[in-house]
Structure 1
Amino acid sequence: MMTSPVKLIRPRRHGDDRGWFTEYYSEPTFAALGITCTFVQDNHSYSAPAFTLRGLHFQTPPRGQDKLVRCIRGRIYDVAVDVRKDSPTYGQWVGAELSAENGHQLFIPIGFAHGFVTLEPDCEVTYKCSDTYAPEQDGGIAWDSVGIDWPMPAGTIPGLSPKDTRQSTLADFDSPFPYDGRLLTPLS
């Protein structure tokens, strides 16, 4: 049985009265989870207000990006949306809370749109990418066109970039991503 392509990773923390230590990336450990991409770029974002929403983003082939996302300050709700053409789970999404406190990470492979909303002020997010930024391949879909249950108070309008206010809807998106036979399943 194949496992879901999107993975919630919970690195182990080793703590004592001084604090803790964690290994947040190890090539052999990730290979054992089926994550075999090579990461070539690290990104870091800071969002000052709560309910800043970044996404839903991806890079199209031939410059698609696998991403390994973690929150190093504050809390976010991180999501991945299946946008692989002909996938039985096309348009479905999974999400998880990532925080500096829980140390969890989300692996989002090529063929999935990625986005997150900050759940408190002053959040910092870092993520590894398997390809460098390619502006000509930059793409996205509207954050509110998928039916994601974003954890925001009723009536909240998230803080968006100008780019994210102009993204096309999922219904209007013609996916260039092939389906690889792996179904999106709930995170475990």
Structure 2
Amino acid sequence: MKKVTPDVPGHDDPGPGRRIGLDVGTVRIGVASSDRDARLAMPVETVPRLTGLKGPDLGDVDRILDIITEYDAVEVIVGLPLDLQGHGSASVNQAKEIAFRIRRRLKGTGQSIPVRLGDERLTTVVATQALRASGVSERDGRKVIDQAAAVEILQTWLDGRSSALADEPDVTEAPHTDEKGNLPR
């Protein structure tokens, strides 16, 4: 499959507020939320996947929209499953489809919440290792692995956002002028 380019944190940032992260699978969608300061990702829930690639939006899309509203989210990050070379798999279509449906439904309600595609390489592997290290059995882990992967997706986005915003010049600073108050040429 061809190379797929995920969105970049910090670009067109909507400002302060909570973010929602989604790990879209064919069976379940893991959901995570950030704190209001957009620094820390936390698990929310696992939503059973109902909506296919064709046909109408079903209860899973409705539930995600409810979560976005409940958490007063300012941005949604959908994990984009890429291989280590940046190529997309068949799962990319699943993520893009859910992102498209959420974006369309938000726009239909007059909400201008950006829906981004974030790089999710290795997030499920990292989430699985973290659950195993914390003593969660593989059987019990299946119930929360999608939430843990959504946390990894969102935390990666938040960290990237923090770095991107720290690199931006502070536009609130007054421009430097010479002793006569003239701006440099």
Superposition TM-score, scaled by structure 2 size: 0.30
Q: Which has the higher strand share?
A: 1
Greater gyration radius:
2
Q: Which has the higher helix share?
A: 2
